[in-house]
Structure 1
Amino acid sequence: MEFSLQRLRMLRELDRRGTVTAAAGALHYTASAVSQQLAQLERDVGAKLFERLGRRVQLTELGKLLTAHAEEILGAVERATLALEEAQESVTVRLTAGVWASVASGLLPRALTALAAEHPGIKVRTRELAPEETADAVRDGSLDFSFVIDYSDAPMPWDAGLERAVIAVERLHAAVPAGTVPAGSVSLLELAEHPWILASPKSHFGRAMRIACQRHGFEPKIDHEVEEQATAMAMVAAGLGVTLVSDLGLILRPPGVDTVALASPLMRTVSIAYRTTALRRPSMQLVIHAVRGAAAELGLATETTLP
């Protein structure tokens, strides 16, 4: 009997998530595609592996047995990949990375150009996800590594099964319509009466910014909820409100927006997250080195911890 690694991953995700829809979302497939592949896995095995209980799916005893072996098989594949990398004089590998907009536009092009020049055998593909989703995708194996964020006011909970390497420490700046704030710096409280443009509280960025405002003694009056810094700054340029933007986000700043330093600095740490089993992979260390080098060239601190 031959097993498809792809189908074993789907079975593992079904066990973890409890629904086909959730498993499909974690693996970036459609629910119908996952259903078809799981049905084919049952045909391959010749036995029922799961049963539906309302909206959820429960594995049968045989399904649980196969899932336990799937963990061992997929772990063995990862260990074999590591062994092959360590045995090669030059590294040849394809990696998939989770990114978000400001990293993809402000940091990654420089890093991947340098990586390609020095180590052409390492090919990095990217997938844009919300920052709060990327770590889960690494843990589940659908990404090899991802960029993650911690804010000084709202650090993210961390998965003990993942490692992280700090890449850059960014400052957050006030982004205001041109000429609105003539001073060289401004406190958050001084911006309290302005309309705000922020990401939704469901996002890590949106929550962290609300916490920062609350810590400075006010609730921001949010007129517009948008997720991307580029979109928020475009609305700032139109005079619709103020927002906060990171160092990497400044590359996306349109005309008509002033960026002003915050009197009480807000910081965020950008890291690369990867599975603990990938710690020894030469390709991972080379990627981290290239991205840190790109961050340093942009003038970003690469080792400072959050205040």
Structure 2
Amino acid sequence: MELSLHRLRMLRELRRRGTVTAAAVSLHYTASAVSQQLAQLERDVGAKLFERLGRRVQLTELGVLLTEHAEEILGSVERATLALEEAQGSMSARLTAGVWASVASGLLPSALTALAAEYPGIQLKTRELAPEDTAEAVRDGTLDLSFVIDYSDAPTRWDNGLERAVVAIERLHAAVPAGAFPAGSVSLDELAEHPWILASPKSHFGRAMRMACHRHGFSPKINHEVEEQSTAMAMVGAGLGVTLVSDLGLRLLRPPGIDVVTLTTPLLRTVSIAYRRTEIRRPALHLVIGAVQSAAAELGLGTEPALP
């Protein structure tokens, strides 16, 4: 019997997620591809590993047994990889990071260019995820590191198995139709009577912005729920409402018809890199973090802890 690490990872994800579809999403495959690989795993083992219960898949006793060993095997592979990195002086490593649009466009290009010039053996791949999903992907081993956000109005619940390094502190600004606030600054409560364009409360950003508005004594009148800051700014440029946008978000393509004005009471968010806590230090990972911190510093973004 020869067991594929690739298929064992799929088996582990199936147990964690409960459905083939959820496992496929977490691994960035199609559901049919995962189903085919799991079926091949059953053939490799020569025993039934799964039973279908409606839309869910339940592991048989043998499936549970193999999954428990898969956790140990995959953990050993990770530890071996870390040990090799350490023995090599970690000038050669392949890492995968979870990102979202504004950090991918605002921080990574200059950070990775500088890193490649000094440490060409370090390869960083990226996967775009919703900010609220990136920490879990690090926790379960899908990613080596990820960007995560903390808002002063909605801090992230932190997992003791993860470490984090602050890379940037961003200010949030009001994006409003051109000419709406000639003074160039505005308090959040002055936006209370305007229509808003905001992400849904299911997202960390949407939830944090609603909490900030409530702290200033109002509930925003949301006419348009959109998830991407670039889309929200395009709608502001068309005169459809106001929104809030971060420093890195302002580096995205800004359409005409928008004024970006300062909030008189600052709203801040902390951008960090999350990674798993291990006994072995991963120099390559910390070189990536340092490169991102340097890129943020060049943009004038600090690395002090977020406000309480």
If the TM-score is normalised by the length of the shorter chain, which range does it land in?
over 0.9
Does residue 134 of the first structure (1) align with residue 134 of the second (2)?
Answer: yes
Q: Which letter does structure 1 place at the counterpart of 2:299?
A: L
Q: Which letter does structure 2 place at the counterpart of 1:48?
A: K
Does residue 249 of the first structure (1) align with residue 245 of the second (2)?
Answer: no
206-215 or 135-144, which moves further after superposition? 135-144
Aligned to 2:304: 303
Question: How far 1:305 moved relative to its partner?
Answer: 2.8
| 1:13-92 equivalences in 2 (<5 Å) | 13-89=13-89, 91-92=91-92
Question: How far 1:285 moved relative to its partner?
Answer: 0.6
1:155-198, Cα deviation, whole Å (9 max, x unpaired): 12222222211111111011111211122421111011111111
| 1:1-307 equivalences in 2 (<5 Å) | 1-89=1-89, 91-252=91-252, 253-277=254-278, 280-307=281-308
Question: How far 1:153 moved relative to its partner?
Answer: 0.5
188-197 or 249-258, which moves further after superposition? 249-258
Question: How far 1:278 moved relative to its partner?
Answer: 8.0
Number of residue pairs aligned between Structure 1 and Structure 2: 307
Distance 2:17 2:89 in 1: 40
Distance 2:280 2:302 in 1: 23
Distance 1:154 1:47 in 2: 48
CA RMSD of aligned residues (A): 1.4
Question: How far 1:279 moved relative to its partner?
Answer: 6.2
Distance 1:68 1:153 in 2: 40
Q: Which letter does structure 2 place at the counterpart of 1:43?
A: R
Question: How far 1:255 moved relative to its partner?
Answer: 3.0
What TM-score results when the alignment is normalised by the length of structure 1?
0.96
Please tell me whether the aligned partners of residues 151 and 268 of structure 2 are also in contact (alpha carbons under 8 angstroms): yes
83-92 or 281-290, which moves further after superposition? 83-92
* SS in structure 2 of the partner of residue 159 of structure 1: coil
Please tell me whether the aligned partners of residues 90 and 284 of structure 2 are also in contact (alpha carbons under 8 angstroms): no
1:212-252, Cα deviation, whole Å (9 max, x unpaired): 11111111111111111111111111211110000111112
1:86-106, Cα deviation, whole Å (9 max, x unpaired): 111461122111111111111
Percent identical among aligned pairs is 82
Q: Which letter does structure 1 place at the counterpart of 2:255?
A: P
Please tell me whether the aligned partners of residues 152 and 306 of structure 2 are also in contact (alpha carbons under 8 angstroms): no
- Structure 1, unaligned runs of 5 or more: none
